[in-house]
Amino acid sequence: MIPSTAHFVWYGPRLQYLHALAIRSAATHGGFERVRLHHADPLDALPHVSALRELPNVEFVPLDDQALCEAVSGPALATLCGALKSPVARANIARVALLCRDGGVYLDMDTLTIRSFDALRAQAPAWIGRERIVFPGFVVRSRDPRVKAKAYAMTAIRDGFRRWPHGYRAFRRIEGRYHLAVNNAVLGGVAGHGLWRAALETMAELPKARWQQSYALGTHLFQRVCESYDGGDFELLPPPLFFPLPPEISAHWFRRYKRGVDVAAAIDPSTLTVHWYASVRTKRVVATMNGEPALRRLEHHQLYSSLACRVLDGAPIPA
C-alpha cells in the first residue's frame, strides 16, 4: 500500500496564500497521516505559513535537492539538478526522487484537495493522472503539417470555450476529442517503484542540450517513460480525479460570475484534488488572493473560491 504521506516541493522564500491552501487542504481533506513541505529556502514568516506549522500532521522539511538526487540515483542526476536554473525543472526531479526514496503521494502547489486519497493509495503500487490536452509530446515532435493544423484548430476551438461564460460546461461535450496525456502534477506510489527508477534514469540520460527546455523533465518525459515502461504494475488514471477542468479551460476556476456559480458542474464525484494550473493565465489573479477574506468576498462568484471556502469550513463537497 502507498504510504499515507503527501509531499509538496517549494523553491523560494515567499509562499503565497493559495499555495499554502494546497498544503492545508491535503492535511485536512486528503486523509494523510503526514503532509511534508520540502522547501529549498527559508520561508518568510507569513501568517498563513505560521498557521500551517500549527497543523499536527504538517511537517516542514529543508530540501537539498542535489544531495537527494545523489543519494537516490547517483552523481549524473545530481549534476543535472545543480545545472538547472528553473525551480520548476528542479521540482520535476525532486518529486520523483522523493517518491523513489520515501513513497507516498506527490501534489503540486497549484492543487486543492477536496476528498481522501485513502482508497486510491490501496488501489495500485503506483499511478499517475492523465489530462486532456492539444500538444502531447508526439504532436510537438511531429513534422506532419496535417497534425499541426489539427492541433492549431483544436487550440482555437478550446480558446473559444475558455472565453465563453460557463464554457467549461459545454466543453465537456467535445473534450473526448482531445488527447489523453499523463501529467506529473499528482503522482503516487511505493518507495523504490520501477516507474520512479525508470523516470530518474531517463532524466540522468537526457542530452545536455535539452536540460533547459520546457517540459523536457516534466510532462513530456513522463509521457515517454509511461509509454515504454513494461512493468505492468502501475495505473493511468482518468482526468476527473485530478484535472476536472483541462488546461486553458481551467481559467474558469478564477473567472468572476455575477449571478453565482455551480461548483458541482466543474468537478466530478470522483475528483480528489483539483489541479488549477498556475501556469495558465492565473498569475495576476493568484497574487491578489492573499488571504481568506479575499476568498470570502468571491465565495458566490468564483468557482475556486466557492470550493476553497467549502474546504475551509469543512462543508460537504458537491457530488
pLDDT at 31 (0 to 100):
98
Is the pLDDT reported for residue 137 higher than 90?
no
pLDDT tens, 39-68?
999 999 999 999 999 999 999 999 999 999
CA atoms within 13 A on the CB side of 225: 28
Query: CA triplet 221, 227, 231: central angle to 5 degrees?
Result: 110
Tell me which of 124-138, 181-195, 220-234 is least confident. Answer: 220-234
CA atoms within 13 A on the CB side of 247: 19
pLDDT tens, 159-169?
999 999 999 99
Q: Are 184 and 217 in contact (CB under 8 A)?
A: no
Residue 69 host element (H or E): helix 65-72
Is the pLDDT reported for residue 216 higher than 90?
no
Per-position b or e across 16-45, b if 16+ CB within 10 A of its CB: bbbbbbbbbbbbbbbbbebbbbbbbeebee
Percentage of the chain with pLDDT > 90? 88
Confidence category of residue 117, pLDDT binned at 50, 70, 90: very high
pLDDT at 77 (0 to 100):
96
Is the pLDDT reported for residue 13 higher than 90?
yes
Q: What is the pTM of this model?
A: 0.96
Three cell numbers at 311? 474546504
- C-alpha to C-alpha distance for 235 and 216, rounded to whole angstroms: 22
